[in-house]
Amino acid sequence: MLHNWTNFFLSTAAAGAQLIGLLFVVVTVGNSLSRPQSVAGIRAFLTPTLICFSGVMLQALVVLAPWPSDWPIGLLLALGGLAGLAYHINAIRLQGKLDFAALHAVDWIAHNGFPVVADAGLICGGAGLIAAKPFGYAIAAQARSC
């Protein structure tokens, strides 16, 4: 079922790895410019971005591995979606506590809405693979949303 998506997942894994590297460069360069109060901002905004990129890369690796059936892929993706959903809900809580960053509605949708919907889609896609139903589009949508 996922054989036709090989190039897509190879591309997203490479892009996720490159974006993780770029994020570390930004954090390293910006580290000398940061104030102690910005640590909360880094935890609230940069760490969720790193988690999202890492999740996309892990998802691509899980899908590309030669599994004997789709059931283990579905289980791992659904668990990853659950973990990502829990993490993003916690990140929303942390972002709400910041007093030096005021996000507008469009920023909240881009920063929080898309990842939460993507994690829910990943859970649905994983459940579809476990049930042998074609929910592969939900898994691909998660990779594109980060």
**What is the SS3 string spanning the chain?**
CCHHHHHHHHHHHHHHHHHHHHHHHHHHHHHCCCCCCHHHHHHHHHHHHHHHHHHHHHHHHHHHCCCCCCHHHHHHHHHHHHHHHHHHHHHHHHHHHCCCCCCCHHHHHHHHHHHHHHHHHHHHHHHHHHCCCCCHHHHHHHHHHC
Query: CA-based angle 83:87:92, to the nearest 5?
Result: 150
Task: Work out the average pLDDT over 82-99.
Answer: 85
Inter-CA distances, 42 with 29, 39, 75, 102, Å:
13, 5, 31, 15
The predicted-structure confidence for 6-52, as pLDDT tens digits, reads as follows 777 778 778 878 888 877 777 776 666 566 666 776 777 778 888 88
Q: What domain range includes position 30?
A: 3-145
Q: How many domains does the chain have?
A: 1
Task: Work out the average pLDDT over 83-105.
Answer: 81
Q: Hunting for tokens 């591309």 — which residue is that? A: 11
